[in-house]
Amino acid sequence: MIATPTQQSPTAVTRPKYLRSRKSFDHSPMLVFYELTRACDLVCKHCRACAQSWRAPGELTTEQSKTLVDELTEFPDPPMLILTGGDPLKRDDIFELIRYAVGVGLDVSITPSATPLVNQQSITRLRDAGISRMAISVDGSDAATHDANRGVAGSFDHSMDILRIARELGVETQINTTLTPDNVHQIEAMGDRFASLDIALWSVFFLIPVGRATEMARLNADECESAFARLLQQSKTQPFMVKTTEAPHYRRHVIQNTKKKTDGPSSRGFIPAGVNDGKGVMFVSHTGEIFPTGFLPIHCGKFPTDSVVQTYQNSPTFQMLRDSDRLGGKCGVCEFRNVCGGSRARAFGVTGDAMAAEPDCNYIPESWNEKECVAS
């Protein structure tokens, strides 16, 4: 699962060898997001990183970045590495780092910003360096909707050009879309438009109130459920896979609403083994700070002083996030808590408690109703 530097952080390339069990998440993440830089030439409204036009002086150096890559190979099950930002192409050493990571055996994907830095030459270099997939953010079915969100006129057209060039060069792509009240009405139109682009995956992100996104409206619980139903239909009719990021309750919706294959078309989606913030996922910032994800700003350590392996395996925060028995509210008694668990980042962003109930889920577990009746 690739995730982008904005609300796309996090969730999402998935290939068979990365389909792990929940037990394996105790010792190894499936995905590690490395925020190479916060420099970016876009001004997206929902940017998690509050990206800026210049590189920060405290970024990990080339050699430190290579050491980080080496440490990732020490996990019992080495993760997929997603290079994100800001815009990772703002780093002069980006191609060198990709070649190095691929050379030590990691599967590497990238989430560049749709700026002039992404062109036929740079995509060719990414391909030749060994990149597995490139994720491009598209937040609408038309230029007006997308460009308003990205803050740069022409961004939509350039994104379409990037996806076309990548296809011609044989680079696998996915589209990341942040779903908001401004574009939710375009789900079907986006799906139809993306169908012509030969993408592998459409990753739909649900807003987390962090970074610039604290000023934006997000879908409420009922609106999320409605969007889930429409995305599930897209997964049954479009040629690409569909997944959500920071909306693990979509998995619950899919389970509840998917019939057996003999009853009709199956969805072109998947339900990872409970991947969630800090549970199969780890994020390393441009300065080496270690977080459960880019959307959950709970500091757990700092590389290179702290080992990323030891931090993921032994940090009290990571261990807490992987323990569904510690979930609060209705999430704690929900029968889907192991496959879903609610967005821990959204819970933290809304309530300040990373283990609180998912704020944007309208499902009421039967056990919660029984508990409420007893309490009253």
pLDDT in tens, the chain (376 residues): 444 333 333 333 334 455 677 789 999 999 999 999 999 886 565 555 555 666 678 999 999 999 999 999 999 999 999 999 889 999 999 999 999 999 999 999 999 998 899 999 999 999 999 999 999 999 999 999 998 877 778 889 999 999 999 999 999 999 999 999 999 999 999 999 999 999 999 999 999 987 666 667 899 999 999 999 999 999 999 999 999 999 999 999 999 998 765 445 555 555 666 899 999 999 999 999 999 999 999 999 999 999 999 999 999 999 999 999 999 999 999 999 999 999 999 999 999 999 999 999 999 998 887 555 445 4
Query: Residue 269's pLDDT is what?
Result: 57
Per-residue model confidence (pLDDT) at position 274: 85
Q: What interhelical angle do 94-103 and 62-72 show, nearest 10?
A: 30
| Per-residue model confidence (pLDDT) at position 148 | 86
The rounded distance, in Å, linking the Cα atoms of 291 and 298 is 6
Q: What is the pLDDT of residues 335-373, one digit of tens each?
A: 999 999 999 999 999 999 999 999 999 999 988 875 554
The pLDDT score that the predictor gives to residue 141 is 96
Chain position carrying tokens 């022409």: 154
Q: Phi and psi dihedrals of 79, rounded to 5?
A: -85, 170
> What pLDDT sits at residue 5?
35
Amino acid present at 190: M
What is the CATH code for 16-324? 3.20.20.70
Cis-peptide into 304, omega within 30 deg: yes
**The pLDDT of residue 57:** 81
CA distances to 1, 25, 32, 299 from 270, rounded to whole Å, are 11, 18, 19, 30
pLDDT computed for residue 268 by the predictor: 58
Q: Is the dihedral of CA 12, 18, 24, 26 positive or negative?
A: negative
**pLDDT value at residue 246:** 95
pLDDT of residue 338: 93
For residue 376, the model assigns a pLDDT of 41
Parallel/antiparallel/unpaired status of strands 281-284 and 31-35: parallel
28-44 exposure pattern, b = at least 16 Cβ within 10 A, e = fewer: bbbbbbbbbbbbbbbeb
**CA 318, CA 311: separation in Å to the nearest integer?**
8
> Is 359 in contact with 331 (CB distance < 8 Å)?
no
pLDDT in the model for residue 52: 62
What is the structure's pLDDT at 212? Answer: 62
pLDDT of residue 369: 73
Task: Judge contact between 342 and 376, C-beta under 8 A.
Answer: no
